Amino acid sequence: MKKLLSTKEVAQYLGVNEKMVYTLISEKNLPATKATGKWLFPAHLIEQWVESRTMNFPETVQHHSTMEKTLIIAGSNDMLIDFAMKLYMQENEGAYAAFCNLGSLGGIRAVHNGAAHIATSHLMDRDESDYNFSFTENEMQEPPAVVNFSFREQGYIISKGNPKKIKGTKDIASGKFTVVNRTAGTGTRLLFDAELAAHNAEGKTIPGYDNCVARHIDVGFEILNGNADAGLGIKAVAKALHLDFIPIQWERYDLIIPKSRYFDKNIQAFISLLRDPRIIAHAEKLGGYDLKRSASVIYPGEGGTPD
């Protein structure tokens, strides 16, 4: 239980007489209780009351060198981006990096609202000619800088040995197999919907369509645990969990950065790491990545396939 002070103790603490304490209760909202029939004062609330009335309170010292190294990335989750953020913290003493798994569209909105430094996105335009630009145009007031992180191979993650003999979207669209899906606003969810539409199918006809998970790795876990027959995700997950993989396409996975923040030290420090041999080696180990254009600025119309 927190310490309670008597009227006399509060008077001594404040340096006033006891009569003044009663005046402070009625006129200055001094924290007090009379639950026991006499005035008692929670010590921690008295301290807060004094602090709240302090004039010329010194401003909190901002540690600029640390704040400049703090990095918040939001959007589409990825196994290689996790490794890159870990490396960023290792290479920048006192630096912090945090990822908010909001899906591609959520990441773009977080950057637009000033809640994140970088968004990760792989939203394919409806005409399939490009990635991300039509979405940033709709969600952001001014065009951002778009830097490629990688190209990734997307496809259906299925059980080892493919016991259900699934060949691709045509089989999924038949409604004979249970799927696991990604949440709305993710690039993978939009790709899955486009695949179904191309085969004249709707999500409501597919068992498991409403079983949505937050991360690519969670798709793999659902397959591994026998909760679904297939789910769209990246090849790296299938390899990590020793599952089979039916490729659909390569996609461009970009970093969306407000132009006003592009030259911030923390952002430039992160971009400078993208060609680090350790990231390249880790991408090889994971599988399903192409880093030929990594760290390159992307312009509208440059397409959605690796060189």
What are the boundaries of each domain within the chain? 4-52, 65-290
Q: What is the 3-state secondary structure (H, E, C) of 15-44?
A: CCCHHHHHHHHHHHCCCCECCCCCCEEEHH
Token duo for residue 125: 């335009």
pLDDT of residue 65: 52
CB burial string 202-220: b at 16+ within 10 A, e below: eeeebebbeeebebbbbbb
Whole-number average pLDDT of the chain: 91
pLDDT of residue 61: 47
pLDDT of residue 126: 74
pLDDT of residue 307: 66
Encode pLDDT of 181-205 as tens digits: 999 989 999 999 999 999 999 999 9
pLDDT of residue 35: 75
pLDDT of residue 70: 85
pLDDT of residue 105: 94
**CA 214 from centroid of its chain's CA atoms:** 10
Distance CA 60, CA 62 (A): 6
Encode pLDDT of 16-65 as tens digits: 999 999 999 888 889 998 877 889 988 988 888 888 777 776 655 444 55
Distance CA 303, CA 307 (A): 10
pLDDT of residue 99: 96
Maximum distance among all alpha carbons in the chain? 87
Burial class (CB in 10 A: 0-12, 13-18, 19+), 63: exposed
| 215 within 8 A of 101, measured Cβ to Cβ | yes
Whole-prediction pTM? 0.76
Distance CA 184, CA 89 (A): 31
pLDDT of residue 67: 55
Low-confidence spans in the chain with pLDDT less than 50: 61-63
pLDDT above 90: percentage of residues in the chain: 73
Instruction: Tell me the fold of 65-290.
Output: D-Maltodextrin-Binding Protein; domain 2 (3.40.190)
